[in-house]
């Protein structure tokens, strides 16, 4: 099976712009989670989607949003970009949304905000 894929792999934006990142889960997986990875804060949970519904949300401002489509693909959007949003954004997919499900990560999208 193909692994989790993310596009684009690299992005450079300026402050105030918005950005949309895409994630395609492993075939058959219905849950997608998003994480932000920075050197200072490490890996932090953003949100989780299952069956096109946001199931959980981490402690991030409303500028961070996402959605999931009927084919389980997911997008996340960050509006009004700030310098501190520069990070590696990782998505992970799992079969369903049980707490004990294994999550498999994609390669990430490296976002740089200038």
Partner 1 sequence: GENVEQHPSTLSVQEGDSAVIKCTYSDSASNYFPWYKQELGKRPQLIIDIRSNVGEKKDQRIAVTLNKTAKHFSLHITETQPEDSAVYFCAARPSGGGADGLTFGKGTHLIIQP
Among 68, 72, 108, 111, binds partner 1 (CB under 8 A): 108
Q: Is 33 in the site for partner 1 (CB under 8 A)?
A: yes
Name beta bridge partners: 42. Answer: 38
Task: Indicate the residue among 94 and 113 with the shorter CB distance to partner 1.
Answer: 94
**CB neighbour burial string for 4-33, b if at least 16 within 10 angstroms, e if fewer:** bbbeeeebebeeeeebebebbbbeebbbbb
Q: Which of residues 74-93 bind partner 1 (CB under 8 A)?
A: 90
Least gap, CB of 15 to partner 1 (angstroms): 26
Helix (H, G, I), strand (E, B) or coil at 83: helix
Distance CA 7, CA 5 (A): 7
Least distance (Å) from partner 1 to the CB of residue 94?
9
Residues of this chain that interact with partner 1 (CB under 8 A) are 4, 31, 33, 35, 42-48, 55-56, 58-59, 90, 97-108
């Amino acid at each position: 099976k193909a692994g989790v894929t993310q596009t684009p792999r690299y992005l450079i934006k300026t402050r105030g712009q918005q950005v949309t990142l895409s994630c395609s889960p492993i075939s058959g997986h219905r849950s997608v989670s998003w994480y932000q990875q920075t050197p200072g804060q490490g890996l932090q949970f953003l949100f989780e989607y299952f069956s096109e519904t946001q199931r959980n949300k981490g402690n991030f401002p409303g500028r961070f949003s996402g959605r999931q489509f009927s084919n389980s693909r997911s997008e996340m959007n960050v509006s009004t970009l700030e310098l501190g949003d520069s990070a590696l954004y990782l998505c992970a997919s799992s079969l369903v949304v049980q707490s004990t499900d294994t999550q498999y990560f994609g390669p990430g999208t490296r976002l740089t905000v200038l």
